[in-house]
Amino acid sequence: DQQVKQNSPSLSVQEGRISILNCDYTNSMFDYFLWYKKYPAEGPTFLISISSIKDKNEDGRFTVFLNKSAKHLSLHIVPSQPGDSAVYFCAAIQGAQKLVFGQGTRLTINP
Amino acid sequence: DTGVSQDPRHKITKRGQNVTFRCDPISEHNRLYWYRQTLGQGPEFLTYFQNEAQLEKSRLLSDRFSAERPKGSFSTLEIQRTEQGDSAMYLCASSRRGGSSYNEQFFGPGTRLTVL
């Protein structure tokens, strides 16, 4: 069963605009959520995270929003830059143990 | 560079051969994780260690797979009698138990395995 889902395989955004990547989860026991960015032939790079006791976390151009009642989180990137083009993975964790990843969303920033 | 390192970066082998991968975590991290990623999917958990103790193994980790972390530092992942379905990117990650960022796992570059 897919406990973490990213329903959009790809997203194309114009440079300078906002990119919004979405993620849904089913396990209400998840207590921490993370976003990773991945370039081809490299390992995932940690981007930003949020605890389940918060509903927003911001770091520079990146903001993660958590809606626990809807079991939904989103990553906002503003303004989007060409270097943001990559595959983005949402991940969830319970009890500081294994990460459960979504399938990823390929973000392309167009000049 | 004090990040997670993995060796080799690429491995091509013939079906039936044994392969071994190595992971060196960030030095102060006491947790080490192995994940596997196939094309078009997110990484899937295989196993993790806290210091030298292997605390959890996924059902994905068949009898042909074994992982060790003998001194609580580097770890090895061995696959015996490789099959074509083992072809994937094998990722290692580490984290530090305790503190404000203990949930954050930092990944190495991965080992890409191709079984012919």
- How does the average pLDDT of chain A come out, rounded? 95
Q: What is the pLDDT of residue B74?
A: 96
Return per-residue pLDDT of chain B as tens, 116 residues: 579 999 999 999 999 999 999 999 998 889 999 999 998 899 999 999 999 999 989 988 889 999 999 988 999 999 999 999 999 999 999 998 765 566 789 999 999 999 99
**pLDDT at residue A95 above 90?**
no
Given B42, B103, B106, which is nearest A93 (Cβ)?
A: B103
Sign of CA dihedral A26, A93, B77, A42: positive
Q: What is the pLDDT of residue A67?
A: 97
Q: What is the pLDDT of residue B72?
A: 84
Given A43, A46, A97, which is nearest B56 (Cβ)?
A: A97
The pLDDT of A80-106, averaged and rounded, is 93
| HSE of B73, CA atoms in CB hemisphere, 13 A | 2
Q: What is the pLDDT of residue B1?
A: 53
Given B33, B42, B56, which is nearest A102 (Cβ)?
A: B42
DSSP β-ladder status, B53-57 and B44-50 = antiparallel
Q: Select from B115, B116, B112, B114 the least CA-distant residue to B36.
A: B112
In contact, B101 and B81? CB cutoff 8 Å: no
Q: What is the pLDDT of residue A74?
A: 98
Q: What is the pLDDT of residue A96?
A: 67
Q: Is B98 on the interface with A (CB under 8 A)?
A: no
DSSP β-ladder status, A105-110 and A86-93 = antiparallel
Q: What is the pLDDT of residue B101?
A: 60
Q: Is the peptide bond before B70 cis (omega within 30 degrees of 0)?
A: no
Minimal CA separation from A92 to chain B, in Å: 10
Q: What is the pLDDT of residue A94?
A: 81
Q: Do B41 and A103 touch (CB under 8 A)?
A: yes
From the CB of residue B70, how many other CB atoms can be counted at a distance below 10 Å? 9
Highest averaged pLDDT of the listed ranges A32-46, A53-67, B59-73: A53-67
Q: Is the peptide bond before A44 cis (omega within 30 degrees of 0)?
A: no
**pLDDT at residue A55 above 90?**
yes
List A residues 5-64 in contact with B (Cβ-Cβ < 8 A): 32, 34, 36, 41-46, 49
Q: Do A43 and B48 touch (CB under 8 A)?
A: no
**pLDDT at residue A106 above 60?**
yes
Minimal CA separation from A61 to chain B, in Å: 19
Q: What is the pLDDT of residue B93?
A: 96
CA distance B80 to B82: 5
In contact, A4 and A99? CB cutoff 8 Å: no
From the CB of residue A99, how many other CB atoms can be counted at a distance below 10 Å? 28
CB burial string A80-89: b at 16+ within 10 A, e below: beeebbbbbb
Residue whose pair of structure tokens reads 């989860």 in the numeric block: A25
Q: Do A43 and B107 touch (CB under 8 A)?
A: yes
